[in-house]
Structure 1
C-alpha cells in the first residue's frame, strides 16, 4: 500500500481525490487534510497568505500520522503566486515540516509537462487575468513556451467548485491553441477527474488538470507509476528517457 498525503485548501472539489483513488485501481491510498483557506479570493495577497508556512504546517502532523509517504500542497495559485524561487522555498519548508518528500500542484504541472515531452502549451485558468498570467510566468520560468493564456475572471474557489461539465468544456475550448501540444487547466477547486478522457478526445491532445497532476506528482515523489487511462494521457505515457 502506498499512502499519499494532500493538503487541500478549504472545500471545493476535494471529491476529485476519492474519485481518482478509485480510478487508479491499485494499492494507492489518498489522504486529504483541509487547510484553512482564510479569505477565499483569487487575489495575489490573499493567495500568498493561503499558502503561508503556518497554514500549511497545521495539517502536516495529521498526514504524518496517517502514514503518508509523500505530501503535496494541493493548490496551484497558492504556490505559483510566490514566484519560482518562493514556490521552491514553500515546498522545501513543507518537506522539512513533514519529514518526507513534498511538492505542490504548480510543480506538478511543470513535471507533468516534462513527462509528456511537450514544450508548447496553452493555459485555461478560472482565475482573473492577472493571476492567470502569473501562472504562465511560472511555466515560462520552467522552460515552457506558452502559446496562449485565457482567464475566466472567477474571484472565488467556492464559485469554481460549482462549475460542471458545460463550463469546464467551454473554458477548455476557448483556451486551446492549435499550435499548443497540451492544454493546462489549473485550479484544484475545479472538478475535472470525471472528464479527462472526454476533454482529450474533444481537443485531440493531452489535457493536464490541477487535481490530476497533484495526485500524479505525489505518486512521482513516492516512486510509483500507475497506468490509468481514465485519468488521461499523463497516466498512460511511458517515462521520457533523458539522454
Structure 2
C-alpha cells in the first residue's frame, strides 16, 4: 500500500510572529520555519503503518518555494521514502492546493492519503476535505486512531458526543487530530540518509492545473495588546466591579 502525505512549511510554533509595517501580511523574514505540527503527526502515522507492514511506500509532497525542500527532507528523515516538490512562489488558497494534490494523486495512485487536519498559520481546515471531494474518495476527518482491516480502514474520530468509528474502503483520505500519535524525533543517521533519498521537483504547469485567485487578502492586523490587571483589596470589591463595570453579574 502506498501512502501519500501532503505537508506544509510554517513558522515554528514557538516563534512569536510579527505583522508587516504596511499590514499586508505576516513578516516571515529571519523567522525559524518548521514542518507543520499536524503534518508531522500525519507523517508519523504513515511511518507506523509501514513499520507494521501495512504500507510499502511513503511519499511526501509539498507546494511552495525552494525553501520547502528543508521540510521535505525532515519528513524523509522521519521515515518517508521519497518526496515531491511542486515549486511555486504564489500564495495559494486551499482549493488551489487541493487541485494540485489531486493531480499528484492521479500520478501516484496512493491507496491512502493522510493530511494534517489544518496548518497552524491559516488554520483553514479545508484542504483535506476539498481534496476528498475533488478525487471522490471517502474521507474521515479528525482521526484519533487509524487501523487497517483488509481492504478497509477503520478510523476513530472525536465528535462532540464522544467517539465515532468509520469504516472506509480504500483508497481513502484521512485528516489527523492531535491525539492520533506523538511524532518521533529524527535521528542523526536518518537525517544523513534523508539527504540521499529522491526528491522530485516539478512546476505547476507540469501537472496541467490552471490556478485561479479565489481569495483576496485585504489586511492583517495584530491582536490588541492586553491591558494591565488591577489588584483588588476584597471579594466585595471584585463583585462590585463585575456587576457595575464588566456587567457580567
Which has the higher Rg, Structure 1 or Structure 2? Answer: 2
Which TM class, normalised by the smaller chain length? 0.3 to 0.5
Q: Report which of the two has the higher share of helix.
A: 1
Q: TM-score, normalised by structure 2?
A: 0.36
Which one has a larger percent strand, Structure 1 or Structure 2? Answer: 2
